[in-house]
Each structure stands twice: as C-alpha cells, then as structure tokens.
Chain A
C-alpha cells in the first residue's frame, strides 16, 4: 500500500473580505455592481474577482459582492442610492461568513474529495464559481486565474471547514490518475 503523502496545497484563512449579498434582477444590478466592485457582471456560475474585490454569481437572482472590509458601509449606501425605488435586497454578510484559500497545484484534488461538484479541469477552471457542500456544510468556492481557490462558508461552521480542508490535504492524494 502506497504511503499517504500530504498534497502540495496550503490551506489558510483568507484575508478579511467585505461581503455583500445582493439579490434582484441581475441585468438591472450590473451598473451598480460595477461601480462598487470595479468588476463586470459575471456570467452563469462565474466569478469576476481580483485582489479581494469582485462579483461572484450565486444564482439567477443573486450575486456576492466582494469589497474591502472598510468599504462595506459605503458600498451599501451607494447601492441603496442607485437602486432606490427598485426591488432589491442588499445585506452586509461579512461577519456571517468565513473565507479560506487553497493555494497550490493540488487545490482541485483537496476540494474534490469533499464535494460532489464536477471539478475536472474541463468542467471547473479559473473564473468558475460553484455553490455546493464541502463535507457536511454548505459552501461556495471559486478559482482565481492562478488556480488558487477561495472557499466561503457560514462562520458558525468555520472551525469544521478549516479542519475538514486540512484533513483532506493531510490524507494525501486519491491517486486515480
């Protein structure tokens, strides 16, 4: 039996993110999302994120806006002004969520052991975002251009998530290939 090898990936809590859940008609939300994050509205199951700012597609009427933590209040005010009189919902969820980063070539395999999502390179690559579950808890994750993956989950299960990711890495590769 092959010796279990730790995988080439580093799991760490992400730098603090300002997170805003925004729901409404995505086409109508696009201008204010661009003004707040500097990113274009992502397509279905896509993420437009760079340097901790951006937009992640959550569902056909929901996006997650990422801004600097200090900018959240200002962004909410800006959204409220821009969408006044228009049906929408914007909530600061920065403190309700926890974020982790997986950096390294084996990030895909570390995640793949925990979720039923199809993570083959042809199905999930840089710029792609998914909502699913990791282990027993709900999570959203997206891959940056360099291949690093950011995982977002509820803060109430942050300890579980961090240990889950670490165990997945420590247990070594599955070795299907």
Chain B
C-alpha cells in the first residue's frame, strides 16, 4: 500500500485516506491561448516509468492538497510538499537526485 506523509497535518496517510489528483505542476492555458497549448494543458500527460510528480488530497484527514514526488516503478516516495508550490522545493530535488541520478521530468531535472 502507498503511504504518504501529509505535509499539512503531519501524519502518515494510507492510500485509502487519500484521493489521487493527477499530474502536478500543470500550467493552465485558458481562453486566448493557441490550440496546441490548450490541447497540451487539457490532454497531454506524462506517463513515466520512474520519477513522477502527483497531486494528492488528504480527503479523509485534513482535507488539504499536497504534491508527492515518487517513483512509479518501485513506489519509492522521495518526498511530499504543499500544493501551494509552483515547482518542487530544492530538498525534494536533492532527495530525488540522491536516489535517481540524472532524473528528468518535463522541464525539470
């Protein structure tokens, strides 16, 4: 079972207490954007075997959103941080680099 640390209330939340919210760090392209950008925002998602960033909601607990950096192949969790972050904080990137040297995800590395 996937167990994630909720950065808001500080408990370890089991997967059954969480709601998956899809890929993290999407940039919204709304009215006025060109068709390719809008299509990318709406439909194009990463599907990596390895490092991935996902939004999760601690729905049975404090009800807050957070982002988890984890490996889709091994279920290893590199860290979690509040959803009020436009990019992964440095300590999360360092934790990933320590475990997966040379990792890349979208335009992050």
Point out residues on A near B: beta carbons under 8 Å.
44-45, 58-60, 62, 116-118, 130-133, 138
Contacts and interface: CB of A to CB of B under 8 A. Distances in A.
Interface residues of B, number: 14
Contact of A59 (B9, B12, B13, B14): B9
A130 B17 CA distance: 12
B17 A44 contact: no
B8 interface: yes
Contact of B63 (A59, A117, A118): A59
B62 interface: yes
Contacts of A131: 9, 60-62
Nearest to B82: A60
Interface of B: 8-14, 16-17, 60-64
Given A44-B10, A45-B9, A58 B17 contact: no
A116 B62 contact: no
A116 B16 CA distance: 8
Contacts of B10: 44-45
9 contacts: A45-B9, A59-B8, A59-B9, A60-B64, A116-B13, A116-B14, A117-B11, A131-B9, A133-B17
A175 B12 CA distance: 24
Given A59-B61, A60-B8, A116-B17, 19 more contacts: A44-B9, A45-B9, A45-B11, A59-B9, A59-B62, A59-B63, A60-B9, A60-B62, A60-B64, A116-B13, A116-B16, A117-B11, A130-B11, A131-B61, A131-B62, A132-B17, A132-B60, A132-B61, A133-B17
